[in-house]
Structure 1
Amino acid sequence: MAGHAASVWVGQVAVMAFGAVDTIVAGRHSDLSLAALAIGSSVFVTVYVSLNGLLTALLPIWAELHGGRRLAAIGPSARQSLYLCAAASVLGMALLLHPQPILRATQVPPELRTVAAEYLAVVGWSLPASLLFRAFSTLSQALGKPQLVSWLQVVALAVKVPLSVGLTFGIWGLPELGVVGCAWATFAVNFFLCALALWLLRTQPFFVALGLWRRVEPPHGPTLRAFARLGVPAALTLVVEITSFTLMALFVARLGTTATAAHQIAANVTALLYMTPLALAIAASARVGYWRGAGDEARARALALLAVKLALGLALLMAAAVLLLRGWIVDIYTAHAGVALLAAKLLAWVALLHVSDAMQTVSIFVLRCYRVTLAPFVVYCVLLWGVGLGGGYLLAYHGLGPLAPQLSPAAFWQAAAGSLLVTAGVVRWLLGWVSARAVEAQA
């Protein structure tokens, strides 16, 4: 599990470094570019991560087929996932290519709204390629081959960095496009990754036994319904989780460019920290799914509970590092004194939030192996939307009881940290209960 998680972590950090590179590049270009990136990337990440949830949720299905030695059944299942990719692409592009209603509803200032819409128009066309690559990633991770994905993502980062710098500042003979240049770099990298994934599927002997390269069957109702029962609640859960953070950026935008830029730095650091529990969650899902497919519920439960303990230990170490190094971290992102001062304050809340976020992430992913997706969705709606986002909005703009309005993005981070702490406790208890029942049922 540790080896699997390490491979996934390398690739996920490379992917999140895409956002870190864009944040640094936009911050060096101008405060307006950084603020526009905060808005545009918030909308894109909301759509992208939520739709990725549809495909990532298939990992337990393919891992169980792998554990049960039913490799020939994976090929038809993987081909059916192409229909899921197509439907998700249509839905996502409709939202990304027409973002004005969302930007107006959240009262994003007009000067930011135009640039953010231009950014989204470019990255929206790259969504089909990114979703196909996510399907490849999920399949590789389910089969215990995460290194295939990680190496591709590291190579893609080497392509992304010069493209973002060159297209933003107009160097090396490239046009100067400002923050939209970061979007074009993302577009190019997503199609590059998709092409490399198709090449691996055609050339790697490991995939031959799966029988992937056959005629695509018509849509198979039972298979697609099984995908939907697992994938749709998982995707909706991710919608709640990601929007509880990305809507923060849209609500913070009305506080001005400095607040928005500082919030973007805090959000980017949070996303980078999230890669460690995410990697562990993916690895744990693959191993728990494998052993459930092999018929060993006791071993599956032991791995599930161990993964949560590992997540907690690693999160405490990383939170301590952020608290100690937050001044240095902020200096990497911006040279603006006001932005740096506010961002350093926000990182203290980021450190606290990360500990709870790590535990609930691993618990949620492993619960999918037990086909438990609806209960986490309800918990997320109540706590992350109601307590986290709603409470943060009240603390920031209206006050809460005797507390006066803070008029600061810190209010949102305080409420988010509290809501995630309760969420982590609830889903951890649910995981322990469900896995224990599975062991008892098998006995």
Structure 2
Amino acid sequence: MQLKDYTKEFKYNWKLASPVMLGMLGHTFVSFVDNIMVGQLGTAELAAVSLGNSFMFIAMSLGIGFSTAITPLVAEADTAKDFIKGKSSFKHGLFLCTVLGILLFLMVFFAKPLMHLMKQPVEVVELAIPYLDLVAFSLIPLIIFQGFKQFGDGLSMTKYPMYSTLLGNIINIVLNYLLIFGKFGFPELGIVGAAYGTLVSRIIMVWHLWFLLKGKEKSKAFVTNIKFFVLDKLMLNKIINLGAPSAMQMFFEVAIFTAAIWLSGLLGKNPQAANQIALNLSSMTFMIAMGLSVASMIRVGNQKGLKAYYELRRIAFSLFLMGTMFAVSFALIFFLFHNQLPKLYVDFNDAKNLIDNTEVVSIASKLLIAAAIFQISDSIQVLVLGALRGLQDVKIPTMITFVSYWLVGFPISWFLGKEDAYGSFGIWLGLLAGLTTAAILLYIRFNHLTKKLIKVESV
């Protein structure tokens, strides 16, 4: 097969993936704006947002990971033109996302005392707890939004979740400005103001996406007249069987990055703030790979519905190639500008915090070198994972992610991340090892499965 057989798919891949990328970037941009605005208050406030969001990342990973079960089921039903199956997949998925959103809120709300047991800086914990109360409640609208988003993705209507996310960003930025700093007569709430901005913007996002989908002929019948509590046990089980392993896959990856936040906290507030800067920057580039991963899930799901396994493999490889090209580009940007990018997050005109800010930028610039290297393995692992979800293969990949991140990555982060070893940089070397292991093992799994399917198809 020639290179053009893969590159000719780039245009459609981009058409499908770019709205998802912008929507994903929108989620991360909320955190980016919060960090930049909160960073003006001081390094303790930035570390507090980092600590509070570390709990949120774990909960979000479970909710977002679970919701991905909706996309391949809707994509397969859409290709087969089976409206009843598609609506059932969406309705049951939305019901489970709502229940899960409530449970995750309660989990985070009652987990707050753990902050005192984690040996984090006292000043940081006291700031983080009131922030977390409000942000935890925003999990409910966020996971419901994910249910609608994954449904829209499954119908290849990827631009509408993007519009809602962009609207949410605008509202979040405005409310942050008004409530963090107390502008135009609003109360000056500090980091709690950032939490209010996040909560309100997420509620509006849910309403706006439902409104858009209700207005489109292709999706109107799916999102109206939903008999929410008339449930089919078989469909619930099917979504749980797909969603639970997908949730665990995302949890295992996000949890190791969260562990990196906690390990950084053991080194002090400045290493923790530096870790947050590097994590936030690498999260934004990761959203490009996530967009292509969703496109991979949709397109593989479509080809699975057609039972066209040779085409499925060719299309998947076109996405893998495209993602790798993006990853190499971002790796170069991080490497070339590793000294400049962290400076966006701190105020060097703040004489009171100048020493702290200088140390934070120094640590973060080193972390960006590690982040530059793992751009490639991170992109490959999430793209292949998307393709495997499109094949509705979730159990073995879940085991692979656990082994990669927690039996390979975390022990390295723990051992090399101590103050008398490599400190923050050592923590990120563990992340790099885990991501690289996952990329290799997941690719082997996808390669094996698709060759097996093609062999059966040709018999």
What TM-score, normalized to structure 2?
Answer: 0.92
How far is the alpha carbon of 1:349 from its aligned partner? 0.4
Distance across 2 between alignment mates of 1:224 and 1:115: 40
Q: Determine which of 196, 202, 209 is the counterpart of 1:197.
A: 209
How far is the alpha carbon of 1:363 from its aligned partner? 0.5
How far is the alpha carbon of 1:9 from its aligned partner? 1.2
Distance across 1 between alignment mates of 2:399 and 2:383: 17
Alignment of 1:34-113 (within 5 A): 34-113=46-125
Query: Amino acid of the residue matched to residue 354 of structure 1?
Result: Q
How far is the alpha carbon of 1:211 from its aligned partner? 6.8
What stretches of structure 1 of length at least 5 have no aligned partner? Answer: 399-403
In the alignment, which residue of structure 2 is the partner of 1:3?
A: 15
Distance across 1 between alignment mates of 2:20 and 2:342: 26
What stretches of structure 2 of length at least 5 have no aligned partner? Answer: 1-12, 349-356
Distance across 2 between alignment mates of 1:103 and 1:119: 13
For 1:171, what is the secondary structure of its paired residue?
A: coil
In the alignment, which residue of structure 1 is the partner of 2:428?
A: 413
CA RMSD of aligned residues (A): 1.5
How far is the alpha carbon of 1:425 from its aligned partner? 0.9
How far is the alpha carbon of 1:217 from its aligned partner? 4.7
Equivalent pair of 1:237/1:377 in contact (CA under 8 Å): yes
Would you say 1:256 and 2:303 are equivalent positions?
no
In the alignment, which residue of structure 1 is the partner of 2:386?
A: 365
Would you say 1:231 and 2:243 are equivalent positions?
yes
For 1:438, what is the secondary structure of its paired residue?
A: helix
Q: Determine which of 10, 15, 27 is the counterpart of 1:15.
A: 27
In the alignment, which residue of structure 2 is the partner of 1:389?
A: 410
How far is the alpha carbon of 1:376 from its aligned partner? 1.8
Equivalent pair of 1:99/1:120 in contact (CA under 8 Å): no
In the alignment, which residue of structure 2 is the partner of 1:401?
A: none
Q: Deviations over 1:337-362 (max 9, x none)?
A: 11111111110001111110000000
For 2:40, what is the secondary structure of its paired residue?
A: helix
The number of aligned residues is 437
Equivalent pair of 1:392/1:412 in contact (CA under 8 Å): yes
In the alignment, which residue of structure 2 is the partner of 1:354?
A: 375
Equivalent pair of 2:263/2:417 in contact (CA under 8 Å): no
Distance across 2 between alignment mates of 1:387 and 1:105: 26
What TM-score, normalized to structure 1?
Answer: 0.95
Alignment of 1:292-441 (within 5 A): 292-334=304-346, 335=348, 336-397=357-418, 405-406=421-422, 408-441=423-456
Query: Amino acid of the residue matched to residue 452 of structure 2?
Result: R
Q: Deviations over 1:262-283 (max 9, x none)?
A: 0000110111010111000001
Query: Amino acid of the residue matched to residue 386 of structure 2?
Result: F
Name segments (4+ residues, structure 1) moved above 4 Å: none
Equivalent pair of 2:249/2:401 in contact (CA under 8 Å): yes
Alignment of 1:80-159 (within 5 A): 80-159=92-171
Identity of aligned residues (%): 23
The structure-2 alpha-carbon separation of the partners of 1:160 and 1:33, relative to structure 1 and needing over 3 Å to count, comes to same
Distance across 1 between alignment mates of 2:368 and 2:29: 18
How far is the alpha carbon of 1:209 from its aligned partner? 4.5
Equivalent pair of 2:70/2:90 in contact (CA under 8 Å): no
Equivalent pair of 1:119/1:179 in contact (CA under 8 Å): yes
Equivalent pair of 2:246/2:398 in contact (CA under 8 Å): yes
Distance across 2 between alignment mates of 1:298 and 1:366: 14
How far is the alpha carbon of 1:139 from its aligned partner? 0.8
Distance across 2 between alignment mates of 1:230 and 1:373: 7
Query: Amino acid of the residue matched to residue 342 of structure 1?
Result: I
Q: Deviations over 1:175-222 (max 9, x none)?
A: 111111111100000001011122123322221354742433523111
Q: Deviations over 1:274-295 (max 9, x none)?
A: 0111000001111111121122
The structure-2 alpha-carbon separation of the partners of 1:91 and 1:388, relative to structure 1 and needing over 3 Å to count, comes to same
In the alignment, which residue of structure 2 is the partner of 1:175?
A: 187
Of stretches 136-145 and 84-93 in structure 1, the one that deviates more from structure 2 is 84-93
Distance across 2 between alignment mates of 1:322 and 1:94: 38
Q: Deviations over 1:74-103 (max 9, x none)?
A: 222211123212321232012221223432
Equivalent pair of 1:50/1:242 in contact (CA under 8 Å): no
Equivalent pair of 2:316/2:387 in contact (CA under 8 Å): yes
